[in-house]
Amino acid sequence: MSGYSNCYLLALAVLLLLVAIDANSQTEPRKVKTVVFRSPKFVLKPGSVANKYYYNIDFPKGHVAIKDFHAEVVDKAGHPVPLYETYLHHWVVVRYYQQKSNELNTSDIIVGGNSGICDGVLNQHFGLGSETRKTATYVPDPYGIEIGNPKDVPEGYEERWVLNLHAIDTRGVEDRLGCNECKCDLYNVTKDEDGQAIEPDYIGGLRCCYDKTRCRVKHGFKGSKKGLYLKYTVKYVEWDASIVPVKIYILDVTDTWKKPENPTAKAKHQCQIEYSVKSCYANGANFGCTDTCSANGANFGCTDTKKVSVPFPTGGDVIYGVAHQHTGGAGSTLHGEDGRVICSSHPIYGKGKGPGNEAGYVVGMSTCYPKPGSIKIMKGETVTLLTNYSSFRRHTGVMSLFYLLVAEPSPN
Ligand SMILES: *[C@@H]1O[C@H](CO)[C@@H](O)[C@H](O)[C@H]1NC(C)=O
Ligand SMILES: *[C@@H]1O[C@H](CO)[C@@H](O)[C@H](O)[C@H]1NC(C)=O
Ligand SMILES: *[C@@H]1O[C@H](CO)[C@@H](O)[C@H](O)[C@H]1NC(C)=O
C-alpha cells in the first residue's frame, strides 16, 4: 500500500513539475484562430475573363495580428479547380476605411494600404497569382501583420477589405499561355476597358483581358458555365504587447522612379506593374543572348534580366521575402547596397495534373525566412532587384515583384 502511494506522490510531483515548467516556457500561450471564407460567386465560361472587385469582404474583426493568408479557387462543391481550367491571374486584398453607415457608395473610401513603395498602386496587404497554392505565407513568431488597431481608423469610419480577383477560363482555348498572358489578338480587343485605343506595339497585358472579355476558343468547343469562388483561409491571433508588428513592402522591377531634385523630398515611384520579354529566338543576339539560343532553339543560354535600384524608405529586420513571377520566370533576387543577398526567390513549376501541381504553370514561389536579426536593411539603403525570365519565347504581361515583411527596430 505505502509503496503504491509513494509512487503515486512521486508521479504527482513530476506532473506538477512538468506543469510548472510548461507554464514558465509559455507565459503567454497564443491561440491561433483559423477562419475560412469564400468570395462571392463569379461565373466563367470557356475563354471568358472575370476581373472583379468585391468590397467589404468577410475578414477577421478586431485588433488582431494576421499570421497566415492562403487562397485558392474552388468550385461550388468546394473542390480545388486546376489552373488549366481556371487560370488565377491574380488576387489581391487591400485595406480601406469607410464610414460605418456607407455600404454601397465607394466615394468616401480611404485606402489604408501597405508601407510602399509603389505610390498609389500595389498597395495590397495580401496577394498572389497562380503560385497561390504552394507559396508559404505564414508569419513566424513573435511577428504579425497588425490590423484593426482602433488608433489607425479615422473617426466615424471602420476598417474594411476589398478583394480584386482576376481569373481566366482556359477550357478549350486555342492557346492557353497566350490567353494567360493576355495577348490582345487572342482577345480580339482593340480598345481597353476605358475605351482607349490599344497601341499596335502593345502585344499583350492586362489592358487586353479586362472583365467580360473572351479569349479565342477552339472551333466547336462546348463547355458549360461554371460558378467559382476564391476560398481564403486566414490565421490570426488576438493582438497583445508581445507581438512584434511587421511592415509590408512591395518592390516592382518596372518602377521608373526619379530621384527628387530636393534631396529631402520623398522619391516618387511609378510602378508599371507589367512588362514584356522579347524572344531571343526570333531576334538573335539583340537581347543579351548567346548564340546557343538562336542556333539550336534549346531553352537555355537565353535569359532576359531586368533590374531596378531603389532607396528603401525605412530600415529593419527582414522577416519574410517572396517574389512574384509568371510563366517563364527564372528567379529573382534582392540585393543590398553592398551586394549581399537579402532574399532570392524562385518559381516552382508544376509537373503533373492535380491542383497545385499543374504541369508548366508556376504553382508556387520559394520564400525566405531569415533568422530574425540576420538580414537587415538600413534606412535609405539602395536595394537592387534583379529578375530573370526565360526569353526562349516572347512573353507579354509578365511581372516581377518582391514582397517583404520588415520589422522595425524597437525604439528602446
Ligand atoms: C455617394 O456619397 C457622396 C457623399 O458621401 C454623395 O455626394 C454621392 O452623391 C453619393 N453617390 C451615390 C451614387 O449615392
Ligand atoms: C473581332 O471583333 C470584330 C469587331 O470588334 C468583330 O467584327 C469580329 O467578328 C470579331 N472576331 C471574332 C473572332 O470574334
Ligand atoms: C539571373 O541571370 C544571371 C545571368 O543571366 C545570373 O547571373 C543571375 O544569378 C540570375 N539571377 C537569378 C536570381 O536567378
The pLDDT tens digits for 70-100 are 999 999 999 999 999 999 999 999 999 999 9
Q: Which ligand is nearest to the CA of 385?
A: 3
Single out the residue of 57, 77, 408 nearest to residue 227, CA to CA: 77
- Cβ(107) to ligand 1 under 6 A? yes
Q: Which ligand is nearest to the CA of 346?
A: 3
Q: What's the confidence (pLDDT) of residue 13?
A: 53
Nearest CA residue ID for atom 13, ligand 1: 105
Average pLDDT over residues 363-375: 97
Residues 6+ apart with CB under 8 A from 70: 132, 137, 232, 233
Highest mean pLDDT pick, 79-83, 154-158, 258-262: 79-83
Cα atoms in the 13 Å half-sphere on the side-chain side of 302: 27
Q: What's the confidence (pLDDT) of residue 282?
A: 55
- Cβ(105) to ligand 1 under 6 A? yes
Nearest CA residue ID for atom 13, ligand 3: 332
- Cβ(299) to ligand 1 under 6 A? no
pLDDT tens digits, one per residue of 134-150: 999 999 999 999 999 99
pLDDT bucket at 5, cuts 50 / 70 / 90: low
Mutate to test the pocket of ligand 1, among 55, 100, 105 (most ligand atoms within 8 A of CB): 105
Atom of ligand 1 nearest to the CA of 105: 1
> Could you tell me the three cell numbers for 135?
507559396
* pTM, full prediction: 0.88
Instruction: Pick 8 or 379 by higher pLDDT.
Output: 379
Q: What's the confidence (pLDDT) of residue 144?
A: 98
pLDDT for residue 193 is more than 90:
yes
> Could you tell me the three cell numbers for 288?
543579351
Distance of CA 13 to the CA centre of its chain: 51
pLDDT for residue 25 is more than 60:
no
User: 126-135, 273-282, 400-409: which has the minimum mean pLDDT?
Assistant: 273-282
Atom of ligand 3 nearest to the CA of 330: 14
pLDDT tens digits, one per residue of 197-209: 999 999 999 999 9
Place of cell 496577394: 127
CA of 401 to the centre of ligand 3 (A): 16
Cα three-residue angle 389-279-255, rounded to 5 degrees: 50
pLDDT for residue 27 is more than 60:
no
Nearest CA residue ID for atom 10, ligand 1: 105
pLDDT tens digits, one per residue of 225-238: 999 999 999 999 99
Instruction: Pick 302 or 223 by higher pLDDT.
Output: 223
User: 118-132, 170-184, 217-231, 286-300: which has the minimum mean pLDDT?
Assistant: 286-300
pLDDT tens digits, one per residue of 301-332: 588 999 999 999 999 999 999 999 999 999 99
Could you give the CA distance from residue 106 to residue 291 in angstroms, rounded to a whole number? 54
Instruction: Pick 118 or 18 by higher pLDDT.
Output: 118
Q: What's the confidence (pLDDT) of residue 295?
A: 39
> Could you tell me the three cell numbers for 397?
504581361
Q: What's the confidence (pLDDT) of residue 132?
A: 98
pLDDT for residue 133 is more than 80:
yes
- Cβ(108) to ligand 1 under 6 A? yes
Mutate to test the pocket of ligand 3, among 277, 307, 324, 386 (most ligand atoms within 8 A of CB): 386
Could you give the CA distance from residue 345 to residue 86 in angstroms, rounded to a whole number? 25
pLDDT for residue 22 is more than 70:
no
Q: What's the confidence (pLDDT) of residue 20?
A: 43
Q: What's the confidence (pLDDT) of residue 269?
A: 94
